[in-house]
Structure 1
C-alpha cells in the first residue's frame, strides 16, 4: 500500500502518474480561505437587522465563490462566513468579538445597533478587527476606534431634508418621538428631537422599557398628548408592529414617521396594510425600488435559493460586505486589520449594483469612514403607497 506521492521516488512512476502527483501538490499549494464575520441580533425584536447583516455577508461570499474565489494576490480564495447572534446587547457584542477572535476572523459585517456596537468595538480594538456597523448612535464611528466603519449615513446627512418634505406634505406641527430607554433609544431620540425642532416641528420624547410587549399604556399617553405625528425610528421592527397596532386600536389618526432602518414593513404589518393609514412617511436605508437593488435581490434568490430579506438594511449590509471583501482583496490578507482598514480608506467605494459611492463622516464624527450610497424616501398618502424616491448622498 502506497501512502501518498511523497513516499515514492519519481523515477518509479510512469510520466503520467508523476504529472498527477505534481498537479495535486500544486493544487494544495493554491488552496486558501478568506473568513469574515456577520454579527447582530438574529433573534428577538431586532432580528431582522442581524439577519440582514448575515444575508449580506453570505450573499457576497457566494458571489465571490461563484467567480472561483476572491482575488488575493496571484491566488483566488474561497470566502467563508461565520455568524454570531449578539442578542441586541453590549455583552453580546463583546462576546461576538471574542468568538471571532477565537476563529481568526478579523473583519465583520455588523454589529447593527447601538448596544451591541458599544460592546463590540472596544473588544474588537483589542482583538484587531475591522467592522462595518449600522447604528445611529452619536459615536457610531470615531478616531478612537479607527477600525470601525459605518455602513449607512448619519441622520445628519438626510434627516432635515426628509422631515421637511414630510412636513410640507402632511402639514404636521408637533411630533412625539418614541424610543426605548437605553443608549440606542436616547441617542437616536435626541438627534431626532433636535432635527424636527430645527425644521419647525414642536418635538417631545416618550421612552419605554426595552422588552415591552404590551404598548397599550404608551398608546394612551400618545392619545392624551395628541401629537400631529409620531416618530418610531428608534423602535425595533418587532416592537413597531405591536406599537402601531395598539395605537390604531386606541384611535390614533395622526401621521406616522419611521426615519430609521426598519423601512415600511413593520408599520404596514401593525396597521394591517397601507389602506389603513392616512399619512405615513419613512426612510429606506437603500433605494428599494431602484433597478440596481431589484437586480441584487434577483441575484440573491438565484444564488441562495431563497428570497432576499425584505428589510431595507439588507442592501446596505450587502454593499458593506462588498466593500469589505474588496478591501481584503486589495490588502491581500484577511488577518491584518490595519492593512484592511488602510485599503478601505484609500479605495473609492463602488457597488456592482449601485455604482460609485464615496466616504463621508469627517464633519460629524471626525473620521471619514462612513459609506455614501443612495437612500430612499417613501410615503403612504390617504391609504395609497407611492413609489420610493431615490436620494443620493454626497461624499465629503
Structure 2
C-alpha cells in the first residue's frame, strides 16, 4: 500500500513538474527586420532576446508562486503600417500575447496603437512623432527619447563649439516619422539662430540622392542635417554629396548605426560626421551587449539595443511587482508607479506629462559622438532629465 501511495505521489509530482514547465510568457516583437530600417528593427529583436535569455538562463521569470519561461515571437513589419497591423492582429488574436515590444516607425506605431489600446495590450515602443502620445494613452509607453527630449542639448553644443556653422539643409524620410522629426528639427535649429536654407524629403526606397543634393548644394549650406534618414541611405547621401564636391559638415541627430553608415559612405567620406548616440561604444555595457548581440544577429549592433534591452527588463520588473502576467492593468499601474528605473548605463526617468499629457515618455542618458577612422567616439554626454 505504501508503495502504491508513493507511486501516486510520484506521479502527481511529475504532473506538477510538467505543469510548471508548461508555464510560458509570450512577448511579441514587431519591427522592420529587412529593408533600409533593418538595423533598427534587428536592434529591437536583439535587445529583447538578450534580456529574455538572461531571465531564462536564470531559471525563468518568477511571478507569484509560478516560474515562466519567456518566449519571443518576432514579426517583420517591413517598416510599413499595413504589415504592422497584420502582425499586431496575429500576435493578439492567434498568439494571445499581452505585451508587444516595438516597432520604431511612426506610421507603424500609430496604426498599431488603436488595436493595442482597445485590447489592453501593453506596447513598449518608439516613434519620433509627437502625435503618438496623448492624455488618453493608457497602454503604450515610449521607451526611447525622441529628438524633442535631447535635440536642443545637441544643437546647443553645436552652436557653442562650432560657431562657423550657420546655414543648413535638413533631409528626412517622406513618411510620418520624417514629417514629425523635420518639423521638430527645423524649429529647434531656427530657435537656436540657424538659417534653415532648405528642407527636403526622400522616399525610403530611394538610393540616388543626386537630384536632391543638387538643390541643397545650390543653397551654399555649411552643413547638412540627416535627421532620421536610415543608416545605410545616410551613408549614401554622405558619399554622393562628397562626390559632388560638398566639403561641409554632416550632422545626424536622429537614429544612428555608425557602422552601417560608414559602410555605405566610406570611412574617409564619413570622417567628422557628428552623430547622436544612445550609448558609449567604449563602455563596458556596450561591449557586453555587443557580444550577446553577435550570438543573435550577424549585422553590426545598433545602439537602440540598449533601449529595448532595458525596456524588457523594466517590463519583467513590473510584471513581478504586479504578481500577474494576465492583468495588464495591474502591470501598467506598476510601470507608471516606478518613476525611475536603473538601466544598464544609468538612471531611466519617466516623464512627458507637460508635453504629451501623460508620463509615458522615457528619458535616458544621451551622447554626442563624432565619426573618426570609421568609428564613433563620444565627445559629450547629456544625463536624463
TM more than 0.5: yes
In the TM superposition, what is the alpha-carbon distance from 1:37 to its structure 2 partner?
0.9
Gaps of 5+ in 1: 1-10
Q: Distance in 2 between matches of 1:111 and 1:287?
A: 23
* Structure 1 residues 310-357: Cα deviation after superposition (integer angstroms, max 9, x where no partner): 211111111111112222222233333322211111124434622432
Could you say what secondary structure the match of 1:87 adopts? Answer: coil
In the TM superposition, what is the alpha-carbon distance from 1:175 to its structure 2 partner?
1.3
Match for 1:281 among 255, 274, 285?
274
* Aligned pairs, number: 381
C-alpha contact 2:106 2:128 (8 A) present in aligned 1: yes
C-alpha contact 1:48 1:311 (8 A) present in aligned 2: yes
Q: Distance in 1 between matches of 2:57 and 2:241?
A: 47
Of the two, which has the highest radius of gyration?
1
C-alpha contact 1:279 1:383 (8 A) present in aligned 2: no
Match for 1:224 among 205, 209, 218?
218
1:383/1:267 Cα in 2 relative to 1: closer, same or farther (>3 Å)? closer
Could you say what secondary structure the match of 1:207 adopts? Answer: strand
Match for 1:98 among 71, 89, 92?
89
Match for 1:159 among 151, 166, 169?
151
C-alpha contact 1:242 1:270 (8 A) present in aligned 2: yes
Q: Which residue of 2 aligns with 1:360?
A: 351
C-alpha contact 2:258 2:376 (8 A) present in aligned 1: no
Match for 1:63 among 54, 66, 71?
54
Q: Which residue of 1 aligns with 2:110?
A: 118
Query: What TM-score, normalized to structure 2?
Result: 0.91
1:269/1:100 Cα in 2 relative to 1: closer, same or farther (>3 Å)? same
Match for 2:242 among 244, 248, 253?
248
1:312/1:383 Cα in 2 relative to 1: closer, same or farther (>3 Å)? closer
Mapped pair 1:374 → 2:365 = yes
C-alpha contact 1:244 1:271 (8 A) present in aligned 2: yes
In the TM superposition, what is the alpha-carbon distance from 1:382 to its structure 2 partner?
10
Q: Which residue of 2 aligns with 1:23?
A: 13
Query: What TM-score, normalized to structure 1?
Result: 0.89
* Structure 1 residues 32-91: Cα deviation after superposition (integer angstroms, max 9, x where no partner): 111111111111111111111111111111111011001111222100111111111221
In the TM superposition, what is the alpha-carbon distance from 1:19 to its structure 2 partner?
4.2
Q: Distance in 2 between matches of 1:357 and 1:155?
A: 16
Q: Distance in 2 between matches of 1:308 and 1:108?
A: 23
Mapped pair 1:50 → 2:41 = yes
Q: Distance in 1 between matches of 2:179 and 2:296?
A: 39
Q: Distance in 2 between matches of 1:277 and 1:44?
A: 22
C-alpha contact 2:27 2:98 (8 A) present in aligned 1: yes
Q: Which residue of 1 aligns with 2:179?
A: 186
In the TM superposition, what is the alpha-carbon distance from 1:384 to its structure 2 partner?
8.6
Note the aligned Cα RMSD (angstroms). Answer: 2.3
